[in-house]
Copies of this chain bind each other. A is one copy, B any other.
Amino acid sequence: MKMHKRAILPAGYLASGVACGIKKSGKPDLALLYSNTPAKAACHFTSNTIIAAPIRLNRLHLKKSKAFQAILINSGNANCFTGKKGLHDAARISGRLSYLLKAPKESILSASTGIIGRRLPASKIIRSLPSLLKGLSQGGIDAAMNSILTTDTFAKAVTVEDTIAGRRVRICGIAKGAGMIAPNVATMLAFALTDAHISQRALSRASLIAVDSSFNCITVDGCMSTNDTVMVLANSKAGNPLIDLDRYFSRFLSLLSRVYLELAKMIIRDAEGATKFIQINVSGARNVKEARQVALSVANSNLFKTAIYGQNHNFGRIAASVGSSGVKVAEQDVKISVSPLHRKIIDVRILLYRGKHSAVVYTSDLTPQYIKINAAYN
């Protein structure tokens, strides 16, 4: 496997990004990812019960279609808590793009991120679609990845390649997210494009497993967004023999898992105001679920996260979080160790003496800068 810490589009994809005027700053805020042939898709959306309009629209499209050609993403406005008008806005924009691309209405997927509760400026977006299409190119992925950012301080992209039966298969992933990050695909957008030739069920299964061990293992603030989205498109252009559940599956899974995990870790590295990257490893649990539950309880503890920020060796706060995780752990069942706190990467190891299972969760420290960013964000 070869990995590049930048975006290199696989065969058959183009991308573009422009500033359409949603962001007052004039920064780019509209991105298009395009496959020149219909592609299979696997999608994962927020588990928040209040769901953004583009996700509701995607669900309708995913019911009707199995072939997709474009993902349109805007930043600066979440188009959420906007009622029927919000859904109408999303459908209007998507419909217009379908017309311009001469692609079926249902082949367009979309995503939004930004302020919740404000009407999306649909006309601004529609007016910018022609220039967005004009910009479609292989190099356009850099503009695209910059156009999906909000409070992010850097763009997040990774590309992996491997050979499957003599053919080079590539997966390129881009993501955005820096706050409002919690498991269950929380407060982030991630898009992967691959030229792999793969069955729908293998793509869906691989994406599900890969999400579970990456985006579902990160938390910044325990806040779950209304817009979280992970999407992967596969357009078969690599010409490899079909990947299915019983053929080349684990190879493809390890590639996709790598892409998702790298993006997830970049999101944590860019966590709002963070100064530390924290890995919480819980082992000796009865099952993976309880290991993760304990790890997340620690990862979401404000007291723990401020202690790490203060380079304050406060084991007690870790113990208190373990004990309030909902897993019935007694004092004598817990052993805690923490790596030196002056480093940038902090390793927390929690041993439970209950079983053989383990889980890792990634998080960041909680800093005055997080509050400064979020007190002002609007």
Contacts and interface: CB of A to CB of B under 8 A. Distances in A.
B83 A331 contact: yes
A78 interface: yes
B375 A316 contact: no
| Copies in the assembly, this chain | 2
A312 interface: yes
A144 B47 CA distance: 48
A245 interface: no
A179 interface: yes
B310 A50 contact: no
22 contacts: A49-B324, A49-B327, A49-B330, A50-B322, A51-B331, A81-B315, A115-B314, A116-B316, A116-B320, A222-B301, A223-B301, A223-B317, A224-B323, A224-B324, A226-B319, A307-B378, A309-B371, A309-B375, A312-B376, A313-B378, A314-B378, A371-B371
B179 A303 contact: yes
Contacts of A376: 310, 312
Interface residues of A, number: 60
B331 A50 contact: yes
A274 to B, nearest CB: 12
Contacts of A374: 302-303, 306-307, 310
A176 to B, nearest CB: 16
Interface in A81-123: 81, 83, 115-118
A221 interface: yes
Contact of A78 (B115, B182, B316, B368): B316
With a 10 A CB-CB cut-off, give which of A334, A367, A368 has the most chain B CB atoms: A368
Interface string A334-373: 1000000000000000000000000000000011101110
Contact of A81 (B303, B309, B327, B331): B331
A329 interface: yes
Contact of A50 (B83, B300, B320, B367): B320
A225 interface: yes
Contacts of A367: 371
Interface of A: 47-51, 78, 80-81, 83, 115-118, 179-180, 182, 221-226, 300-303, 306-307, 309-310, 312-317, 319-324, 327-332, 334, 366-368, 370-372, 374-378
A159 to B, nearest CB: 32
Nearest to A315: B117
B223 A323 contact: no
Kindly list the 6 A-B residue pairs having the minimum CB-CB distance in the complex, ordered from nearest. Answer: A116-B316, A310-B375, A50-B323, A368-B368, A224-B324, A306-B374
B50 A330 contact: yes
B375 A307 contact: yes
A324 B223 contact: yes
Given A117-B316, A223-B302, 11 more contacts: A49-B324, A50-B320, A81-B316, A115-B316, A223-B301, A223-B303, A223-B321, A224-B320, A303-B374, A307-B374, A310-B376
Nearest to A49: B323
A314 B377 contact: yes
Nearest to A84: B332
